[in-house]
Amino acid sequence: MMVFGLIALIAGAASALMFASIVSGALISLVLFYLAPLPLMVAAIGWGPFYASLGGIAAAVGLGAIFGLPYCIAFAVTIALPAWWLGHLVLLGRHVAGVTPAVDVAAPTEPEIEWYPVGRIMLWIAGFAVLTTLAALLTLGTDADTITATLHRGLMRILRASDPQATGEADQFIDALVRIAPAAAAIVSMMTLTLNLWLSAKVTATSGRLRRPWPDLKTAELPAMTLAVLCIALAFCFTGGLLAIVAQITTAALMMAYALTGFAVLHTLTLALKSRTFWLGSTYAVVVVFGWPVIAMVILGLADAVFGFRERFLRNRQPPPLPIS
């Protein structure tokens, strides 16, 4: 028991150090900051959510004692809580009674386990992205005007520090950045949480501590109601005030969730291609280098949610039934 407690404390200390490294201002600290949930997620998936919660509480208390209460709350909300809950969802499953064949009634069957769907985990990741982004923005102010003005002053201060001769065109550029900053922050949060969860699952699978089979990511799909929520959030983006900011953050996070399902659709639709590896690699490279082609993945994910491209493709690939003699 002491060994497992030590593992929890080590995971918490590693996450706390990576989170606090942002204070140094070094470029590498930004990478460490975004990877801060990784040790706690590894502890949650490899040893259980209890150990992630133990390590997260210890890390939050330590950060609060050293840097103050704001750091404690920020770590608990943005790092510890998502790591603990997502690790819990990865291991969440329920027994499903198997069907006993009629020819062998006496033979007992092992109950199958239905694991928590990957699509619902993606939806939780989007929710945490909205939560952490909104929490960060609320530290700047409690209304849209204050948040926008604080962002504008901060970005302008950074620009003036690098270019003291900034002109009016720079001010327009800052205005554009301020408008897209909340959505961009939600996208970054969504992608980093997804990357951390994937890496932690890979680490535990490699070490043999992953207690669920590796899911078929090609079949990942979001719940049907997600599309309705996205439409509602998109409509509220055209309102004003804090509600519009919340709607923009929600829309950006859900769009990225559909982009991930778009990649899953692409992996499915290219199963019949001989040069499948080349086309998939080229697609990922173009998206990573240029960024904006991810819009095509969003469209593909949305189209699959409406028209069911994967289901039709897989149905057509099945061999025809054998003739009845």
Q: Which of 61-75, 162-176, 218-232, 235-249 has the lowest mean pLDDT?
A: 162-176
Inter-residue contact 110 to 98 (CB < 8 Å)? yes
pLDDT in the model for residue 311: 84
- Written as one string, the DSSP assignment of 211-240 is -SPPP-GGG----THHHHHHHHHHHHTTS-
pLDDT of residue 31: 87
72: number of CA atoms within 13 Å, CB side? Answer: 12
Task: Inform me whether the pLDDT recorded for 42 exceeds 90.
Answer: yes
**Maximum C-alpha span of the chain:** 86
Q: Taking a C-beta distance cutoff of 8 angstroms, is the pair 217, 264 a contact?
A: yes
Assess whether pLDDT exceeds 60 at residue 324: no
**Residue 96 DSSP label:** E
Distance CA 70, CA 44 (A): 25
- 311 closest CA partner among 279, 278, 273, 268: 268
